Amino acid sequence: MSESLIKHTLSTTGVMIGFTIIGTAILAFTFSTTRAPIAKSEAEARMALFRQILPESMHDNDLLKDVKKIPAGGELGNRDETEAVRARLNGQPSAVILETTAPDGYSGDIKMLVALKADGEIVGVRVLAHKETPGLGDYIDIGHSDWIKKNFDGQSLAKTPDDAWKVKKDGGTFDYMTGATITPRAVVKAVHKTLQYFGAHRDELFAAAKQGNAS
């Protein structure tokens, strides 16, 4: 290999290494400067969603830090690990927010948040994501209808017995839209399972963790 070719190769290699170093530095700088704003934006979005189903008067702790890991599967039906968000007032348990999934929606999974008072009464339910038919099955979404508020706010296992947790078409308590029975049937079933899960795991959900720690 000629000396000029070697010099050219070394020069080209040096330029490429230089660009790689500069590019890596730019990416690292961009990540470091945007990480905090992105995290803050995500936290604000979560809190805005929590406020829809849990009044601020019900807690004085940091909801984003007082959480408990919940494994995937089980009664809640989630496909991934989730977090139970614990609300406390004056150091005492006041409510919990649970993620739950109805796997049997008309078009697949219906993901929800369910806020429950410490005594097991539902404070609020919101659909996080679904693929139900627009204009028909999507009335479960608060953005399209108040169906979810009318049917679940204030509900509990003490108020409605297990055999009544069905849509009216199936002999239960809950309303549904004619022609769209599968969707509300799946939601009612999932909310019922969430109440049963809370009843069985209440002490475990609220146990131990001090504010600022996840368990």
- pLDDT per residue as tens digits for the range 119-173: 999 999 999 988 888 877 888 999 889 999 999 999 999 999 999 999 999 999 9
What is the rounded average pLDDT for all residues in the chain?
A: 85
Task: For residue 32, name the pLDDT band (cuts at 50, 70, 90).
Answer: low
Nearest of 183, 175, 133, 130 to residue 150 by alpha carbon: 175
Q: DSSP character for 180?
A: B
Angstrom distance (rounded) from CA 43 to CA 70: 19
Alpha helices in the chain (DSSP H): 3-53, 147-152, 182-206
Q: Mean pLDDT over residues 52-59, rounded?
A: 94
**What is the structure's pLDDT at 8?**
55
Confidence of residue 194 (pLDDT cuts 50, 70, 90): very high
What pTM, to 2 d.p., does this model score?
0.77
pLDDT of residue 43: 61
With a CB cutoff of 8 Å and minimum separation 6, the contacts of 181 are 167, 169
Tell me the C-alpha distance between 52 and 127, whole Å: 11
Q: Taking the alpha carbons of 164, 167, 168, 171 in that order, is the dihedral positive or negative? A: negative
Q: What is the pLDDT of residue 211?
A: 42
User: How many Å apart are CA 85 and CA 41, to the nearest integer?
Assistant: 18
What residue segments make up the domains of the chain, in order of their start?
1-53, 55-206
